Structure 1
Amino acid sequence: MSSWPHRLAVVVPTPAHSTIAGPLTYGSEFALPPGTLVRVPLGQRDVLGIVWGEADGDALPAGVEKKIAGTLEGLPPLGEGWRRLVGFAAAYYQRSVGEVALAAVPPQLRELSPEQWERRQRRKTATGEGAPADDPPPLTDEQAGALSQIRTEPGPFLLFGATGSGKTEVYLRAVADVLAADAAAQALVMVPEINLTPQLQARFVERFGEGAVVALHSGMTNPQRLKAWLAAHTGAARIVLGTRMAVFASIPKLALIVVDEEHDPSYKQQEGARYSARDLALYRGKLEGAKVVLGSATPSLESWQASEKGRYRRLAMPSRVGQGRLPEVRLVDMNHQPRGTVVSPPLLLAIQERIARGEQALLFLNRRGYAPVLACTACDWKSECPNCSAFRVFHKIDRTLRCHHCGFTERVPRACPTCGNLDIAPVGRGTEQLEEHLATLFAGTLRPDGQPARVARMDADTTRAKGSLEAQLGEVHSGAVDVLVGTQMVTKGHDFRRITLVAALNAESALFSSDFRAPERLFALLMQAGGRAGRDASRAGHSQMWVQTWHPDHPLFAALRKHDYPAFARQQLAEREAAAMPPFSFQALVRADARTQEVAQAFLRAASEAAQELPEADQVTVFPPVPMAVQRVANVERAQMVVESVSRPALQRFLAGWGPVLQGQRVKGLIRWAVDVDPLAI
């Protein structure tokens, strides 16, 4: 038996497929409540652990059991709701509890010894909350109706609001309601991407004061994340704004969760525990009795179907605030344009009209760099990446070839590496080339103040430096930019008041993708992009969205022209139901990385054969393994296998039983494997 008066189960940071499946047992001189953060010995070092409860039975022989090294005094234990959320996420997404739990704790906290924590506590100073600056604007009838239902009904709610309908104001009022009802209550507001956090944080700080609001996202430094996490955990921060990682924040008095742009794929984690923050937000709300509001102009088909079935309460806000109107949608049939046309003549004319009126135009092309490929005109050489089954992108501004998968970068060669030909040329177009092309076309175009028109580009390359995104957004908002070129990062959430024309170039490759979710993502992208135009009522009368397409008769564009998301959703759900695809079935992917494609697929085939013996095998379909779309990345070969069932519980039971089978497969040359439950890309 243990020589310590108390034996505690402690979760420690373990990888998903570790031989350590659950909590470890440690001795303690004192009883510690579940959720207490402790330092414990693991191997040759001390690590942060979380007390999960009393240990059951004799996990280790007498004399072998290790003792807890210390506790982080003064830090309240992590609550039961948080622990249950972590336990559910670990089980559902087929990961270890320790991996999920410790990944949700700030990195700096994981490294602090009890002595360092004590010193930090002595240095800590209190911060005031601040006075709201502005009075809230009056509500529209649609906003008031939505808020009334949020106040009086349990939810969860799907706030189906057109771009510019004032969803953010509904969020602000809903947060104000729960904070006013309970002096200790807290709210979590989630956004899909880091670049949307600052402007939303400014709105909330303006309304509630700086001390009441903290942000949590991966772009923060470790000290910033620790400070924000502690403010939320201790209740000092009433409002937490964050990206998907914030769903695991310790918020002990959680009363409301808002998931803005709930359809966005960024809510799905793509590494480690591949969780959906939107789905976990719904589960967390149910666990902790918090209301949940999902907001979008283009809801995910899963959420739309849930609202059709009555599982979510749908709140409709189809009108824009004030006199703003959704833009007129115009399709340009590229089959009738001159060969090699980049921007069609009628679109160019429409942009020039905007510049002449002092308005702005936004053109988006979802491909950064100058050109996707550099090729030799004399032989078959192309700028392939030596490490990936993909081409390196030509970036003209720094004369490099850069792989957007593994990051491998080289200077552009002076001549073809294969045949020595000096004539190597870009093939295709990216945002960098589009910016250059438009700058040439509008070189003689003047603004109303007599100054030459200015073209600017906003993508991952131009916003890499610290503060560059904010600076560029400031120039757009001030009117210093006339034509903005960018990737899809400029189409989401931004309130550009001067933009009256949005154009989508080369957006339709998704129409014929092998991924069944591609049309849904394309429709959402186009609707969101169009929503950047006409947000200022004084300019809304002539706001337009232009789409250059080779397939103008596709049914997706018919729904887009009418801004008719329900019609698009009906058509897509009918197709999905006929094919028994999600949300009418449930899927998981098993992915394997190996030195060769043969090894990766051999692992998956062996796993598939072993799966036939599992109790739930007759309710699950395991499809044959295939290479991933980008087969090789950083000299690692990748393959995947789809697992599908019409029953979510049956799929979960199957995966739980399959985990040890997968772990037991020993294939030479296998690097790693992972299970992705509810994958967003196949």
Structure 2
Amino acid sequence: MPTSDNIARHDAPEGGASTDKTGIIVNVAVPVPLRRHFAYRVPDGYDISSLEPGMRVLVSFGRRRLTGWITAVDVPPPYDAIVIKPIDQILDDQPVLPPDIISLVQWCASYYHHPPGEAFSTAVPATLRKPQPIPVAVKKRLVCTETGQQTDIGALRKAPKQQGLLSSLRVAPNGLEKAEVAASYSNAISTGLINRGFASWTEIPEMIIPFDPATLSVQHEHMTLSGEQAAAIEAASKPGTHLLFGVTGSGKTEVYLKLIEHVLRQGQQALVLVPEIGLTPQTIERFRRRFSLPVVTMHSGMTDNERFANWQKARDGSAAIIIGTRSSIFIPLKNPGILIVDEEHDGSYKQNDGLRYSARDLAVLRGQRSGVPVVLGSATPSAESFHNATNERYQLLRLTTRPGSIQLPEQRIVDLTQHPAEGGLASPTVTLMRRHLDAGNQVLVFQNRRGFSPVLMCLSCNWRAQCNQCDAQLTLHRREHRLRCHHCGSQLPEPTRCPSCNEQQLIPLGLGTERIEQHLTTRFPNHPIIRVDRDTTRRKSAFAELRAQITEGTPAILVGTQLLAKGHHFPGVTLVVIVDLDAGFYSADFKATERTAQLLTQVGGRAGREEREGTVMIQTHFPNEAMFSKLIDHGYERFLTDLFAERAAFALPPYRFIAAARAESRQPETALGFLKRSTQGINIPDVDILGPLPANMEKREGYYRAQVLFTSHQRMQLHEALTRFMHQSDELSRSGVRLSLDVDPTDNI
């Protein structure tokens, strides 16, 4: 961390200081862990009129040289100026970020109490963090050489394909793209021309121009819109935030596609956010098949160069539709027309480290600022979004039925106290599975825990395999003969004897997807068992291969976690078996019940999505749990109504705003002591401070964790308390302590 001297040489809140009071000063967001901008002097002789916010600069900060972002130009020198350093290098000749994205990032830094320079680093592709000019996008093209233009083309009559390619190159001033050549000619043909000196590969700067709406063609699907769909499309095409509450399989995606078609015809762009788990080739292909205009994606599986190329296409307007995960909310759009957040309830929209932002909430803010429609879609809306809709902050749009004659699946409860499970499955469940398989259908078995078993225990001395770095037990992965921690990633070989008593009495307890797969292989030897979880999809193409196997439609049993069960359309699945969701009823996390209800509804919605009737079997030790009757008998909306009553009684969101400050240290008492000193003396009306207390999982990755909660009915008072807290924590020595602040946390409260 920079020393106090480093900081003083730059600035107090507004930046650095200067001995030259006539110099032009700019504010720069520098990627350091300090919640402020820094002032730098523009180099002598530089044309100040060409300097704008959103341009990158290379600056000296202490002993380092860092890439920063200009956020304000021609500002007064700070009052406590000592020396203002000059900018070392101006990296761009025009702004890289438009004003709306600069404003959005600065809002994030303020609302989430995060260093602005680090917020900018989070919001841009890795390519822009490097201290170098923006690389020019190029395309590799095969061009005709001067020799090729002058040669007698008849000399190639014995090589007709080379002759044909050369003829095409002669009339193409910019040559042919690599893909165009490959579509008609083999490598040997182009190599033959190159070897003769008639052609050569060259890189030509790619012209990025906005897409032309006049070239739009739409491949409509053969379906008739329901009255609810038509009404939703009409309403959601207007500015504002719209919550599209549609049961599973009700046609929410078709509503999205119609809305996107509307904005594309006006020459506007569409940004579609999807959970990481939902960005599948199937999703992307549906958009590309529907629209002839360019569709680009943004996700963590892409290289830095791929991400930056698509980022540029979105910013410059050549991409019509951008489909991306959480961080895509920061992508600049040349002409935004609509923002869509699919599965808006999904927890992956919340960043859980660094800048802890909510992409869903930023989409709402961005839509309000740009005056374009925002559509939040879900079969199981978050409590916060539904509360906003019922209080008319959002417009509530409903899709209550599936298209045509397709019915919602029947839901049945299997009481595990009356029907003990073997290998995770009760006898009524197995009987129904056989019936569906014999009818030529597929069965999906859902268990949201990968591995063989979550516990390895010694019957002789009660030893359990425990992670040394976390307050967690190691999960047995029997196929690999490894014990793995699913929190920190540490692993050990599977022991053959108890490390404590040396007896050979080790047994696995509990069920993971691998163990269920093993049991099903024995129980159903004549049917393929397809397991889909993080362990079976590590290879880049593994998921696509498994999905292709599933969509063949052969009777099979699919076993998996959320990776399989959420956001996919498997027409052959008519039975969904939910092995065990009981743990969600009794978690210390106040959102656990909501997430369990969402998961149960979403997973069950995979059954019977086409003309075949579907069934959901829910296995539980608590058949009288109130949540089941609410969901099964009355639906998800009734569940939310009762949930709101509980949240209001206990002053929990959405009836009270919350922020969590968390500290980590190598010593158990250090984090608690730091938080206690940081909160001392903070007394803001209507702000309650709870803690500090150890976190639910006190030790993780070798660090002891503690947290303190701030709650209030008013955001303004809450943020006043957080500002005081962060200021007091800055005044303390943070030696050996890692501090984070999570505004509007979604878990582990």
Q: TM-score, normalised by structure 1?
A: 0.92
Query: What is the CA–CA distance in structure 1 between the aligned matches of 2:667 and 2:226, rounded to whole Å?
Result: 60
Q: Which residue of 2 aligns with 1:463?
A: 537
Matched, 1:303 2:385: yes
Deviation at 1:397, TM superposition (A): 0.6
Where does structure 1 lack aligned partners over 5 or more consecutive residues?
A: 444-451
Give the share of equivalent positions with the same residue, in percent. Answer: 37
Query: What is the CA–CA distance in structure 1 between the aligned matches of 2:447 and 2:325, rounded to whole Å?
Result: 25
Q: Which residue of 2 aligns with 1:253?
A: 335
Query: What is the CA–CA distance in structure 1 between the aligned matches of 2:263 and 2:435, rounded to whole Å?
Result: 47
Query: What is the CA–CA distance in structure 1 between the aligned matches of 2:57 and 2:338, rounded to whole Å?
Result: 30
Query: What is the CA–CA distance in structure 1 between the aligned matches of 2:335 and 2:392, rounded to whole Å?
Result: 28
Query: What is the CA–CA distance in structure 1 between the aligned matches of 2:657 and 2:216, rounded to whole Å?
Result: 48
Between 21-30 and 256-265, report the one with greater CA deviation.
21-30
Q: Which residue of 1 aligns with 2:347?
A: 265
CA contact (8 A) 2:244 2:376 kept: yes
Give, as a single letter, the amino acid of the residue that structure 2 aligns with 1:384: Q
Q: Which residue of 1 aligns with 2:511?
A: 429
CA contact (8 A) 2:40 2:84 kept: no
After superposition, where does 1:524-543 map in structure 2 within 5 Å? 524-537=598-611, 539-540=612-613, 543=614
Give, as a single letter, the amino acid of the residue that structure 1 aligns with 2:655: F
1:393-447 Cα shifts (integer Å, max 9, x gaps): 100011000111111111112211111112211111111000101111111xxxx
Give, as a single letter, the amino acid of the residue that structure 2 aligns with 1:26: R
Matched, 1:8 2:26: yes
CA contact (8 A) 2:670 2:737 kept: no
Q: Which residue of 2 aligns with 1:82?
A: 101
Q: Which residue of 2 aligns with 1:611?
A: 682
After superposition, where does 1:29-108 map in structure 2 within 5 Å? 29-31=46-48, 32-59=51-78, 64-73=84-93, 76-108=95-127
1:163-198 Cα shifts (integer Å, max 9, x gaps): 1111111111111111212x2x22110011145243
Matched, 1:482 2:590: no
Q: Which residue of 1 aligns with 2:743?
A: 677
Query: What is the CA–CA distance in structure 1 between the aligned matches of 2:65 and 2:677, rounded to whole Å?
Result: 38
Deviation at 1:263, TM superposition (A): 0.7
Q: Secondary structure at the match of 2:265?
A: helix
Deviation at 1:374, TM superposition (A): 0.9
Query: What is the CA–CA distance in structure 1 between the aligned matches of 2:24 and 2:432, rounded to whole Å?
Result: 76
Q: Which residue of 2 aligns with 1:568?
A: 639
Deviation at 1:600, TM superposition (A): 1.0
Query: What is the CA–CA distance in structure 2 between the aligned matches of 1:118 and 1:66, rounded to whole Å?
Result: 28
Query: What is the CA–CA distance in structure 1 between the aligned matches of 2:710 and 2:32, rounded to whole Å?
Result: 26
Q: Secondary structure at the match of 2:717?
A: helix
Q: Which residue of 2 aligns with 1:447?
A: none
1:13-45 Cα shifts (integer Å, max 9, x gaps): 122xx2x62243231412212222333344445
Give, as a single letter, the amino acid of the residue that structure 2 aligns with 1:99: E
Q: Which residue of 1 aligns with 2:152?
A: none
After superposition, where does 1:253-332 map in structure 2 within 5 Å? 253-332=335-414
Rg larger in structure: 2
Give, as a single letter, the amino acid of the residue that structure 1 aligns with 2:527: A
1:600-630 Cα shifts (integer Å, max 9, x gaps): 1111111222424xxxx22210012222122
370, 378, 381: which one aligns with 2:460 = 378
CA contact (8 A) 1:159 1:316 kept: yes
Query: What is the CA–CA distance in structure 2 between the aligned matches of 1:504 and 1:572, rounded to whole Å?
Result: 22
After superposition, where does 1:366-445 map in structure 2 within 5 Å? 366-443=448-525
Q: Which residue of 2 aligns with 1:549?
A: 620
CA contact (8 A) 1:33 1:77 kept: no
CA contact (8 A) 2:208 2:318 kept: no
Query: What is the CA–CA distance in structure 1 between the aligned matches of 2:436 and 2:98, rounded to whole Å?
Result: 55
Query: What is the CA–CA distance in structure 2 between the aligned matches of 1:5 and 1:641, rounded to whole Å?
Result: 45
1:656-679 Cα shifts (integer Å, max 9, x gaps): 2321112222255x3301111111
Q: Which residue of 2 aligns with 1:588?
A: 659
Query: What is the CA–CA distance in structure 2 between the aligned matches of 1:410 and 1:65, rounded to whole Å?
Result: 52
Query: What is the CA–CA distance in structure 1 between the aligned matches of 2:309 and 2:22, rounded to whole Å?
Result: 35
Q: TM-score, normalised by structure 2?
A: 0.84
Matched, 1:523 2:591: no
Matched, 1:199 2:282: yes
Between 306-315 and 105-114, report the one with greater CA deviation.
105-114
Q: Which residue of 2 aligns with 1:111?
A: 130
Q: Which residue of 1 aligns with 2:206?
A: 125
Give, as a single letter, the amino acid of the residue that structure 2 aligns with 1:426: P
Query: What is the CA–CA distance in structure 2 between the aligned matches of 1:470 and 1:126, rounded to whole Å?
Result: 33
Between 117-126 and 306-315, report the one with greater CA deviation.
117-126
575, 580, 584: which one aligns with 1:506 = 580
Query: What is the CA–CA distance in structure 2 between the aligned matches of 1:133 and 1:482, rounded to whole Å?
Result: 35
Query: What is the CA–CA distance in structure 1 between the aligned matches of 2:423 and 2:137, rounded to whole Å?
Result: 65
Q: Which residue of 2 aligns with 1:649?
A: 716
1:490-549 Cα shifts (integer Å, max 9, x gaps): 221101111001111111211111211111101100100011001111x12xx1001001
After superposition, where does 1:143-222 map in structure 2 within 5 Å? 143-151=229-237, 153-181=238-266, 183=267, 185-209=268-292, 212-222=294-304
Query: What is the CA–CA distance in structure 1 between the aligned matches of 2:113 and 2:232, rounded to whole Å?
Result: 37
26, 36, 39: which one aligns with 1:21 = 36
Q: Secondary structure at the match of 1:386?
A: coil
Q: Secondary structure at the match of 1:99?
A: helix
Query: What is the CA–CA distance in structure 2 between the aligned matches of 1:197 and 1:652, rounded to whole Å?
Result: 38
Give, as a single letter, the amino acid of the residue that structure 2 aligns with 1:192: P
1:113-169 Cα shifts (integer Å, max 9, x gaps): 12x736969853247979757224432222111111123x43210001111111111
Query: What is the CA–CA distance in structure 1 between the aligned matches of 2:296 and 2:58, rounded to whole Å?
Result: 27
CA contact (8 A) 2:453 2:509 kept: yes
CA contact (8 A) 2:246 2:398 kept: yes
* Cα RMSD, aligned residues only: 2.1
CA contact (8 A) 1:195 1:469 kept: no
Give, as a single letter, the amino acid of the residue that structure 1 aligns with 2:380: T
Q: Secondary structure at the match of 1:598?
A: helix
- Count of matched residue pairs: 657
Query: What is the CA–CA distance in structure 2 between the aligned matches of 1:426 and 1:645, rounded to whole Å?
Result: 45
Between 100-109 and 156-165, report the one with greater CA deviation.
100-109
CA contact (8 A) 2:647 2:653 kept: yes
CA contact (8 A) 2:24 2:75 kept: no
CA contact (8 A) 2:112 2:357 kept: yes
Q: Secondary structure at the match of 2:329?
A: helix
Deviation at 1:590, TM superposition (A): 0.7
Where does structure 2 lack aligned partners over 5 or more consecutive residues?
A: 1-18, 140-202
CA contact (8 A) 1:190 1:246 kept: yes
Larger relative contact order, structure 1 or 2 (CA cutoff 8 Å, min sep 6): 1
Deviation at 1:573, TM superposition (A): 0.4
CA contact (8 A) 1:160 1:317 kept: yes
Deviation at 1:558, TM superposition (A): 0.9
1:253-272 Cα shifts (integer Å, max 9, x gaps): 22210000001111111000
Deviation at 1:3, TM superposition (A): 8.4
142, 146, 155: which one aligns with 2:228 = 142
Q: Which residue of 1 aligns with 2:672?
A: 601
CA contact (8 A) 2:663 2:674 kept: yes
